[in-house]
Structure 1
Amino acid sequence: MNHIKLFAVKFIGTLLMLYLILGFGYGMTFGNVFLITLVLGMIAYLGDVVILPNLNNTVATIADFATAFLIIYFMSFGITTGGEWFTASFVAAVGVTLFEYFYHKYYKSAYNEAHQDEREGLPRDTTMQTEASEETSPYDPENKNE
């Protein structure tokens, strides 16, 4: 799986979404949006690598909403002055969550595609089978020396 490609897709999609909401909607500069996107992207991608293969899309999307809201709120509050950042962070987190829902589907398909060759070597029927032999006991009565 190409992590650089998957991270780039996530970063560009999140940057576009956040700049539309925070930049145009709330007047945040591109540099601040870029910094928030970089931090959010790295933390959220790490969550995608750990959470998404083990759980379903809904749980990962809820975790992404909480992560996005907290990171956007605290970073917006810390790097800018003034403004209603609670509302802006909530709206931006909802936008990022919508993007993440579809990104998770893309990630899952790329993950399954990358691991397809690992599954091809496995037998299709994985039921357990027993082995049968002619001996009924380990003791051989004809060979008394053993």
Structure 2
Amino acid sequence: MDHIKAVVIKFIGTLFLLFIVLGLAFNYSFVHIFTLSLLLGVISYILGDLLLLARTSNLLATCSDFALALLLTWFYLANVTNANNFLFLVSFITAAGIALFEAFFHRYLITRVIKDSYQTKRVNHSLQYQAEASEELTSIKKADKNKGFPKSRDENNI
């Protein structure tokens, strides 16, 4: 139930943002905005939020969402419209807005949806490659630590 709620929040936020950027600023139709926000919402939730955010940091997941939004918007608008003017600029502005929204949405996901798996996986990955240190690596024996340095052979014979 939490994932469905998160996908709906992401879809509504993406739809609102794309309507402002693409609809009001660049006069794209609502059908294209709706389709693009549906594609972005589902693909970035699966790839960026469930797979990447659960295993890495918010910054890395936000950067990947920026790249995904840039490429997906650019390819979608290039294939469905005849206007080739400023497609990269439009896609870049859209991706920047999506990345800003995603940075805050990831905080919501971490605290409400993937909180248990996020903490467990983060701890396990950070402790996975620790080296073991033991007492055999030191030259001072445990019994001689209180007395100072160990005695040499000559001092024992005197």
Aligned to 1:126: none
**Structure 1 CA distance, aligned partners of 2:37 and 2:96?**
15
Q: Counting helix residues as a fraction of each chain, which structure ranks higher? A: 2
Aligned to 1:125: none
Letter in 1 for 2:87: W
Identity %, equivalent residues:
37
**Structure 2 CA distance, aligned partners of 1:88 and 1:19?**
13
Letter in 1 for 2:45: Y
1:8 is paired with a residue whose SS is: helix
Aligned to 1:90: 92
Q: CA offsets, 1:45-88, max 9 Å, x none?
A: 00210111110000000000000000000001111121421110
**Structure 1 CA distance, aligned partners of 2:62 and 2:95?**
11
**Structure 2 CA distance, aligned partners of 1:19 and 1:110?**
27
Letter in 1 for 2:88: F
Aligned to 2:24: 24
Matched residue count:
116
1:45 is paired with a residue whose SS is: helix
Q: CA offsets, 1:61-119, max 9 Å, x none?
A: 00000000000000011111214211100000000100000000001011355x49xx9
1:46 aligned to 2:51?
A: no
Letter in 2 for 1:61: T
Normalised to the residue count of structure 1, the TM-score between the two structures is 0.75
Structure 1 unmatched runs, 5+ = 120-146
**Structure 2 CA distance, aligned partners of 1:80 and 1:34?**
15
CA contact (8 A) 2:3 2:113 kept: no
Aligned to 2:70: 69
Structure 2 unmatched runs, 5+ = 121-158
Q: Report the RMSD for the aligned CA atoms in angstroms.
A: 1.6
Normalised to the residue count of structure 2, the TM-score between the two structures is 0.70
**Structure 2 CA distance, aligned partners of 1:85 and 1:33?**
14
Spell out the pairing of 1:1-146 with structure 2 (5 A cutoff).
2-47=2-47, 48-82=49-83, 83-111=85-113, 115=116
Bigger Cα displacement from structure 2, 103-112 vs 27-36: 103-112
Letter in 2 for 1:21: V
2:56 is paired with a residue whose SS is: coil
Ranked by relative contact order (alpha carbons within 8 Å, sequence separation 6 or more), the top structure is: 1
**Structure 1 CA distance, aligned partners of 2:21 and 2:11?**
15
